[in-house]
Structure formats: C-alpha cells, structure tokens
A = this chain, B = another copy of it.
C-alpha cells in the first residue's frame, strides 16, 4: 500500500518502478483475480447444467462486485503512490493528471 522505495530521484524510467505493488498487496490482488477466474468457470458450469437464469444472474452480479473491489484495491494503491510522489517529488500537476486518468479508467 505504501511506496517506501520512491526516493530514487535518479531513476531513468520512473513509470517502471512507480507501479510496483508491495509483495503482500500484489499477492492479495492476484488471489482475488484467481478467485474471480474460478467464479466465472463456475458460472460456465451453471449454464452447461441449465440452471435457472436468475441463479446465473446473481452469480454474475457477485463477480461484478468482486471485480469492483479488486479494482478499488488497485486504485487505492495507485492513489497512495501518487499522493506520496507528489509530496516527495513535488510534481503536483503530473500526479493529479495521473490520478484523474486512473479514475477515468476505473469508472469506465
């Protein structure tokens, strides 16, 4: 969540390093995505077994909710990094633009 290693003012390619997730948060994000994949596989099976449409729809809504939560997790981390960089490196306008762009992506 935090971005403790962002003091490398000499980095030639800041974009590469900027979005590094902490090992814990990357693991959490990957676990959630793996569960989502399994969830969708389960929905495929429901369709194959001709389960009632409302039952399928409720599972799709659950996947959508889980998807929004993992996106929010990623957005929150990004936001944390942007604010930290703005404070440490002073590139306020850049970070604000970066944050708005991420929001645009998130909101679709």
- Residues of chain A at the chain B interface (Cβ within 8 Å): 1-3, 15-21, 26, 29-30, 33-34, 36-37, 40-41, 43-44, 47-48, 50-58, 60-61, 63-65, 67-68, 70-72, 74-80, 82-84, 86-87, 90, 92, 95-96, 98-103, 105-108
Least CB distance from A76 to B in Å reads 6
Q: Give me the 7 closest cross-chain CB pairs, A-B, nearest first.
A: A61-B108, A57-B105, A53-B78, A58-B105, A60-B71, A86-B87, A33-B44
A73 to B87, CA, bound (A): 23
Within 8 Å CB of A105, what residues of B? 54-55, 57-58, 61
Closest B-chain residue to A42, C-beta based? B33
